[in-house]
């Protein structure tokens, strides 16, 4: 039976944020910089939209935030929780499954639907 794929459409920012934070805690600007670097700037977005994603993940218990003063500037640092790690695993599996399917379709492994 076919599975539904809501994360394919809505889970990408979540997935990337959780992946960036899986190594160490970071603040918003650092997260965006890391995202741009690892995705080779393949994903374009206004950087301000990262904050709703962070706040929603925190609200859902996937992240925890703390204010930290560094060089006289107060910043909000985010870290992944145990629940966030599980969510990252789930989203990663979903993404791999979906991308495998899309790649399979692009590579024509199952034949051209026009000839079906």
Partner 1 sequence: MPDKFESLRLELLRSGVSPVYVERTIFELADHYADLESAALSAGLGADEAARAASAAIGNERAIAAAILAHPELLSFSTRHPRVAQCLHSAATIGSLPGLPLMFCIEHRPELARWGAAVSVAATLMGSVLAMLNWLIVLPF
Which residues are at the interface with partner 1 (CB under 8 A)?
A: 27-29, 32, 45-49, 51-53, 55-56, 59-60, 73, 75-76
CA distance to 39, 58, 82, 91, per residue, from 61 (Å): 26, 5, 9, 15
* Closer residue to partner 1 in complex, CB, 43/105: 43
Work out how close the CB of 93 gets to partner 1 at its nearest, in angstroms, rounded to a whole number: 23
Work out how close the CB of 14 gets to partner 1 at its nearest, in angstroms, rounded to a whole number: 11
User: Which residues are CB-contacts of 29 (< 8 A; sequence separation ≥ 6)?
Assistant: 47
């Amino acid at each position: 039976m076919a599975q539904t794929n809501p994360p394919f459409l809505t889970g990408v920012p979540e997935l990337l944020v959780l992946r960036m934070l899986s190594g160490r805690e970071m603040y918003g600007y650092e997260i965006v910089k890391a995202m741009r670097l690892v995705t080779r700037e393949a994903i374009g977005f206004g950087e301000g939209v990262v904050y709703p994603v962070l706040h929603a993940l925190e609200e859902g218990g996937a992240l925890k935030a703390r204010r930290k003063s560094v060089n006289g500037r107060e910043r909000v640092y985010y870290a992944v929780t145990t629940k966030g790690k599980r969510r990252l695993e789930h989203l990663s599996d979903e993404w791999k499954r979906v991308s495998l399917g899309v790649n399979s379709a692009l590579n024509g492994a199952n034949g051209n639907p026009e000839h079906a």
